[in-house]
A and B are shown apart, each in its own frame.
Chain A
Amino acid sequence: MADKKTAPKLFAALDVGSFELCLKIVEIRPTGVRQLEYLRHRLALGSDSYATKKIGLEKTEELFRILQEFKDVMKSYHIREYRAYGTSALRETENTEILLDQIRNRSGIELSILSNSEQRFLDYKAIAAGGELFDEIIAKPTAIADIGGGSIQLSLFDKGRLVSTQSLKLGVLRLHERLQVIQPRSNQVEALLDEMINGQLSVFRRLYMKDKEVKNLIVMDDYLSPRLNAAIKGAGPKHIVSFSVFQGFCTGLLTEGDEELSERIGLPEESVPLLRISAGIMRRVAESFSAEALWAPGTSLCDGIAYEYAEKFLPRSSTRDFEQDILACASAISKRYLGSRRRSEAIEASALAIFDGMQKIHGMGERERLLLRLSAILHDCGKFINMTNVGDCSYSIIMNTEMIGLSHLERETVALVVRFNHEDFEYYDELSTHSDISEEVYLVIAKLTAILRIANALDKSQRQKVRKLKAVLREDTLEITVDAGADLLFEQERFLARVDFFEEVYGVHPRIRREG
Chain B
Amino acid sequence: MDFGNTEYYTNRELSWVRFNERVLSEARDKETPLFERLKFLSITASNLDEFFMVRVASLKDMVHAGYSRKDIAGLKPAQQLELLYPVLHDFVHMQYDCYRKLLKECASKGLRMVEHHEDLSAADGDYADRYFIEHVYPVLTPMAVDSSRPFPLIKNKSLNICALLVKKGKDAEKEKNQEFATVQVPSVLPRLVRLPDSEGEIRIIRLEEVIERNIHRLFLNYDVLGSAPFQIMRNADLTIEEEEAEDLLKEIEKQIRKRQWGEVIRLEAEAGIDKRLLKILKHELSVTSEDIYEIDGPLDLTFLMKVYGQEGFDEYKHVNPKPCEVPQIPPGSNVFEAIRKGDILLHHPYQSFEPVVEFIRQAAADPDVLAIKQTLYRVSGNSPIVRALAAAAENGKQVSVLVELKARFDEENNIGWARMLEKAGCHVIYGLVGLKTHCKIALVVRREEDGIRRYVHLGTGNYNDATARLYTDMGILSCAEPLGEDATAVFNMLSGYSEPLGWNELSLAPLWLKKRLLKLIRRETEAARAGRSSGIRAKMNSLCDPDVIAALYEASSAGVQIELLVRGICCLKTGIPGVSENIHVYSIVGNYLEHGRIFIFENDCDPEVFLASADWMPRNLERRVEIMFPVRDPALKKRVMRILSLQFADNVKKRILEPSGEYRIPRSKKAERYSCQEAFEKEAAQLAGKGRGKGVKDSRRFTPRSAADDE
Contact = CB atoms under 8 A, between A and B. Distances in A.
Contact of B498 (A7, A20, A77): A20
Contacts of A230: 502
Given A36-B488, A41-B496, A266-B511, A27 B449 contact: no
Interface residues of B, number: 28
A181 interface: no
Contact of A34 (B367, B451, B496): B451
Interface in B113-150: none
Interface string B574-601: 0000000000000000000000000000
B202 to A, nearest CB: 58
B492 to A, nearest CB: 5
Contact of A72 (B398, B450, B497): B398
Contact of B451 (A29, A42, A78): A29
Contact of A39 (B449, B451, B497): B497
Interface string A61-93: 000000001001101111000000000000000
A75 B370 CA distance: 9
Contacts of A27: 451-452
Interface in B398-416: 398
A76 B370 contact: yes
A7 B450 CA distance: 6
A2 B449 contact: yes
A487 B495 CA distance: 76
Given A1-B367, A2-B450, A29-B451, A37 B492 contact: yes
Interface in B491-546: 492, 495-502, 511-512
Interface string B432-454: 00000000000001011111100
A308 B489 CA distance: 25
B398 A226 contact: no
A42 B497 CA distance: 8
A76 B371 contact: yes
B400 to A, nearest CB: 9
A239 B368 CA distance: 38
A41 B451 contact: no
Nearest to B447: A2
Contacts of B448: 2
A3 interface: yes
Interface in A1-44: 1-3, 6-8, 10, 20, 27, 29, 34-42
A95 B492 CA distance: 32
B496 A76 contact: no
A75 B397 CA distance: 10
Contacts of B500: 38
B447 A37 contact: no
B367 A39 contact: no
Given A76-B398, A78-B370, A266-B512, A36 B452 contact: yes
Nearest to A226: B501
Interface string B334-371: 00000000000000000000000000000000011011
B498 A37 contact: no
Contacts of B445: 76-77
A77 B497 contact: no
Nearest to B371: A76
A298 interface: yes
A10 B353 CA distance: 34
Contacts of B398: 72-73, 75-76
Contacts of A72: 398, 427
Contacts of A7: 449, 451
B498 A8 contact: no
Contacts of A78: 370, 447
Interface in B158-175: none
Contacts of A69: 495
A344 B511 CA distance: 60
A42 B398 CA distance: 24
B497 A40 contact: yes
In order of increasing CB-CB distance, the 8 nearest A-B pairs are A76-B398, A40-B498, A8-B451, A2-B449, A226-B501, A76-B371, A39-B497, A27-B451
Given A2-B450, A39-B497, A40-B497, 12 more contacts: A2-B448, A7-B451, A8-B451, A27-B451, A27-B452, A41-B498, A42-B498, A72-B427, A76-B445, A226-B501, A226-B502, A266-B499
